[in-house]
A and B are shown apart, each in its own frame.
Chain A
Amino acid sequence: MSARAVRPKLSFLGVAGRHNRVPSPYPWLMPVILVMGLFYLYPVVDVFRYAFTDLTLLGGEGHYTLSTFANVLTRPELLQIVWVTFVFTAGSVVGQQLIGLAMALVVVRAEKRHLFGTTILRTTALIAWVVPGIAGGIIWKMLFNEAPFGGLNSLLRLMGMAPVQWLSDPDVVMWSVVLSNVWRGTAFSMVVMYAALKAIDPSLYEAAEVDGASARQKLFFVTLPQLRPAILVNMILITIQTLNTFDAIISLTGGGPGRATEVLSLYTFNVVFRNYDLAAGSVLSILMLVISLGLALVYASFLPKDEKA
């Protein structure tokens, strides 16, 4: 600890005399501090302030009040919104993590065996990932087109199956939205899992081999425990990303039918920018922040202790 702290200072003493002061970092950080302060910190503080007012986007100064909080949190639709958000997030995160991990495992194996097609698969998945959210929504809307010529229904018909009401059946639509989100997001998890797999010390596998471990045992007792930190970090990242997803849903379903796919971010958007209710939107924004932070902390508590340091 102390040796570590001293070393940089010594290296400075070794340098020419007039440069032996440690330079202040703040002039260098100033642009970032200014931008982040103006565009993140100040607005977030203001969100907390607005939440205690009755401000609207229609003008006026508003008054300080606690009733917005009470009003928003007791809205009858809020429970439904939170449930929809939960299903969407859980479905997307689990799907992306599982498929991403499976793809990474298969790709690593296939590369070892010099199988054909790993690069094509990886690149295709990554192309889906680069597609902007709005375009992704539009593309999937074409696929989910419920007319007989729709991109999925005409496939189903070709295979002799009944068409599915992908976007108009309130019981199906959520899974359609999750499917489209898994399509767009999985590549990220795949890449993270792939990099983590590559970073596992090969001697662990050699040792398992010597002990006569089967492939399944190697997966459960070597690979998965070694991947644990990477899986948790990845889950934090994709959970937050999914909670904030907004453009892919607004262009695919717009939140409908009814409120079947209206997630919290879309609801917040509608409250502020369609109903002009700035104060209520601020309360919802705080709710979003609290949920993100809470989930991140829950995941982080599963990280091995030495990883936190």
Chain B
Amino acid sequence: MKLSTRDRLGDFLSYVFMAVMFVFFSWPLIWLLSMALRTRKEVFLGVARLIPKYPTLDNFSAVLTSSQFPVYLFNALKLSCLSAVGCLIIAAPAAYAFSRFDFKGKGAWMLGILAFQMISPLVIMVPLYRYMSRLGLIDSHFGTTMVYIALGVPMVTWLLKGYMDGIPKSLDEAALIDGCNRLSVFIRIILPLSTPGVASAFIITVIAGWSQFLVPFLLITKDSLVPIGVGIFQYAGTQNASTIQVLAAACLISVVPAIIAFLALQRLILSAMTAGAVKG
């Protein structure tokens, strides 16, 4: 009996804690949505109109029919998808080698690749900006994509290696006996079996690319070429209190694709993200 009152108290405290945390994490997003749905007048009424009396979608249509925003969104989609494909093409063979071959210094190679992730993108952008401007790759989606790829390769290599480790080696061996060479084992057997791992690596890289700011901010100056991260930053800089509701709508539009992509593959992404940290 005593135990059960105690459990009930524990349950109560758990609920209180979870409620507080829920408010903390959801409030900014609720506020953003609330602002985005308001008319200009209601913006000035603060929290009293959390649920707007006269909700409107005008802010969204203003953003989506503007001349720049659809272009920003398209640029972000293009850059992040291209770089995700590039990442996979570059990382998959290495992941296969790390998963299947035993060679000297394998652990060191893998750690070395991971260690690059510790380096701030800002550090490499200092010289890269100089190279890119000398090569004429400023304002080029090609140059920007290449940098995105480099930023994504370490994690994708680790993710795919982890996934391929789960595919039995006996499949490789059987195919080798049947006369396949390593390349065709990789292309015909391992890659198709890795589809879920490849898909989650793809989505994670797309989300990372969608969130990119620094690289395109530096490498792209033409307004018609910038992706949404840079576009919305520059747009925010030109706004004032009277257009905050439009900025909120723009912000929401820029965030929602990443959220949807994440939610669709939440389970896969989470197991991939934590595997490295928990295994140490």
Contacts and interface: CB of A to CB of B under 8 A. Distances in A.
Interface of A: 8, 11, 14-16, 19, 22-25, 27-29, 31-32, 35-36, 38-40, 42-44, 46-47, 50, 57, 99, 102-103, 106-107, 109-110, 113, 115, 117-118, 120-121, 123-128, 130-135, 138-143, 145, 147-151, 153-155, 157-158, 183, 186-188, 191-192, 194-196, 199, 229-230, 233-234, 237, 240, 243-244, 246-247, 250-251, 265, 268-269, 272-273, 278, 281-282, 285, 288-289, 292-293, 296, 303, 307
A124 B25 contact: yes
Interface string B88-121: 0111011011100111001001000100101111
Contact of B119 (A16, A32, A44, A131): A44
A46 B128 CA distance: 9
B207 interface: yes
A120 B29 CA distance: 14
24 contacts: A22-B101, A28-B97, A32-B93, A36-B154, A39-B146, A57-B130, A110-B11, A120-B22, A130-B207, A135-B254, A151-B27, A155-B47, A158-B47, A158-B48, A183-B25, A233-B277, A233-B278, A237-B277, A251-B236, A265-B122, A269-B122, A289-B120, A289-B123, A303-B280
Given A29-B94, A43-B128, A57-B129, A133 B46 contact: no
Given A22-B103, A285-B122, A292-B118, A143 B28 contact: yes
A31 B154 CA distance: 12
B200 to A, nearest CB: 14
B122 to A, nearest CB: 5
B122 A142 contact: no
Given A50-B127, A133-B211, A25 B101 contact: yes
B259 A285 contact: no
Contacts of B151: 39
A36 B116 contact: yes
A106 B18 contact: yes
Given A28-B94, A57-B130, A292-B118, A247 B17 contact: no
A44 B123 contact: yes
B74 interface: no
B280 A307 contact: yes
A113 B244 contact: no
B14 A113 contact: yes
Contacts of B232: 134-135, 138
B149 interface: yes
Interface stretch (B52-60, B63-71, B191-199, B266-274): B266-274
A117 B18 contact: yes
Nearest to B47: A154
Contacts of A43: 123-124, 126-128, 131
B43 interface: yes
Contact of B96 (A28, A106, A285): A28
B275 to A, nearest CB: 8
B47 A15 contact: no
B17 A106 contact: yes
A278 B47 CA distance: 46
A126 B262 contact: yes
Given A39-B150, A110-B18, A121-B18, A288 B120 contact: yes
Contact of B266 (A124, A126, A281): A126
Nearest to A131: B255
A285 B123 contact: yes
Given A183-B25, A292-B119, 17 more contacts: A16-B177, A32-B113, A35-B149, A43-B127, A126-B266, A130-B258, A132-B255, A133-B213, A138-B236, A142-B244, A143-B28, A145-B241, A157-B47, A230-B277, A233-B277, A288-B123, A289-B119
Contacts of A303: 280
Nearest to B245: A142
Contacts of B11: 110, 113, 115
B238 interface: no
Which secondary structure dominates where chain B touches chain A? helix
Contacts of A47: 123-124, 126-127
A16 B277 contact: no
A246 B266 contact: no
A157 B251 contact: no
B47 A32 contact: no
A132 B210 contact: yes
A12 B14 CA distance: 55
Contacts of B218: 273
B268 to A, nearest CB: 13
B177 A132 contact: no
Contacts of A281: 126
Contacts of A251: 233, 236
Contacts of B29: 124, 127-128, 139
Contacts of A132: 210-211, 213, 229, 254-255, 258
Contacts of A38: 150
Contacts of B18: 106-107, 110, 115, 117-118, 121
A170 to B, nearest CB: 22
Nearest to B278: A195
Nearest to A55: B130
Contact of B14 (A36, A106, A186): A106
